[in-house]
Structure 1
Amino acid sequence: MSIVQRLSLLPVVILLLLTLGCAEQSEEQGKDKPHVRGMITDFEEERGQVLIENKEDGGVDPGPVWISLSKDAELIVGGEIVAVSLDETLVGRSAEVWINGVIAQSYPPQTKAVKMVIH
């Protein structure tokens, strides 16, 4: 391969490296931003779910969303990690939720949290 051919590949290689670097950065930023954020308005005891009135579009359409905890979910209440499940005492509090990406196409939608922070 001649030097001219090698130099012509240089911009392609640089562009590829830049693209990969930007993809990693935006993926890391997405992990920091909650997918659902809003007020807990209801609790369903039978399913162990809370209904959150999603106010911001963080990956899930705004509107109500039923949230339950996944098996290994991290639940943080008042700044402390807790080992309890969701209950009716959380109604009226604000929450931030990170999900695994799977959302049931129901109304309201339903999903499982991998991390939930209750304020």
Structure 2
Amino acid sequence: MRKGRRFGILISISLLLSACGTISTTEETGPNEAEAEAPPPDMNGFVMDQDKDRILVVAPMDDESDQKGRAMWVSGAPGDYVWLGKQVEVWVDGGIAESYPAQAKAEKVEELEMSEVEGADLKASEALSTALSEVDTEQKGVLSVSLLAFDKENDQWTVKLDYRGSSQEEWKTIVDDEK
């Protein structure tokens, strides 16, 4: 009877241990699979203003964009970096305050690489940053890029900005292509 009892206890312990244990397998994912799982950005556009770790991201004014004129103040961007004029993608951490411009906290901000323009000394982001330094954004509202073009023949950038909000004016400037 003792052998039967021991055998029963041994079986019970085996069943108990096997029920508690789990077998896990890990699958390796390639870089393309990891990217496919990443969520799309909540916002993309140009940084039109910066206040320490807050950036104002505004979608460009193009006819194909479904975010035409959308603007968002994003907090939590690295404050030791000059974002002004850069094209970025933003992933939001939490909700988005529905104001104009909208407001949110950044989970991640990523600068998009803008291709270099043949014959230009300045990058497009540098030309836009220079143009923005000439504008008084406090007085008329949010600006959106409607044209950012390099004229190789005249060695200059044309920057056209549209005011969004209360005033629907546009502002255009020429930036010399000099570093």
Cα distance change of structure 1 residues 94 and 44 upon mapping to structure 2, 3 Å threshold: same
User: Which structure's residues are more often helix, by fraction?
Assistant: 1
Cα distance change of structure 1 residues 54 and 104 upon mapping to structure 2, 3 Å threshold: same
> Superposition pairs for residues 48-67 of structure 1, below 5 Å?
48-55=53-60, 57=66, 63-67=70-74
Cα distance change of structure 1 residues 111 and 29 upon mapping to structure 2, 3 Å threshold: farther
RMSD: 2.9
Q: Which whole-Å CA distance do the structure 2 matches of 1:30 and 1:53 have between them?
A: 26
TM-score normalized by the length of structure 2: 0.35
Q: Which whole-Å CA distance do the structure 2 matches of 1:34 and 1:61 have between them?
A: 16
1:52-102 C-alpha deviation (Å, 9 max, x unpaired):
013455xx8851110112xxxxx7xxxxxxxxx235721001100111240
Question: Which residue pairs with 2:85 in the alignment?
Answer: 92
Cα distance change of structure 1 residues 61 and 42 upon mapping to structure 2, 3 Å threshold: same
1:103 matches 2:108: no
TM-score normalized by the length of structure 1: 0.50
Aligned length: 74
The question of whether the paired residues in 2 share the 8 Å contact of 1:94 and 1:118 is answered with yes
User: Which structure's residues are more often strand, by fraction?
Assistant: 1
The one-letter code matched in structure 2 to 1:68 is S
Question: Which residue pairs with 2:19 in the alignment?
Answer: none
The question of whether the paired residues in 2 share the 8 Å contact of 1:42 and 1:88 is answered with no
The question of whether the paired residues in 2 share the 8 Å contact of 1:50 and 1:86 is answered with no
Q: Which has the higher contact order (CA 8 A, sep 6+)?
A: 1
Show structure 1 runs of 5+ residues with no match.
Answer: 1-27, 70-74, 76-84
Sequence identity (%): 31
Considering only CA atoms, is the larger Rg found in Structure 1 or Structure 2? 2
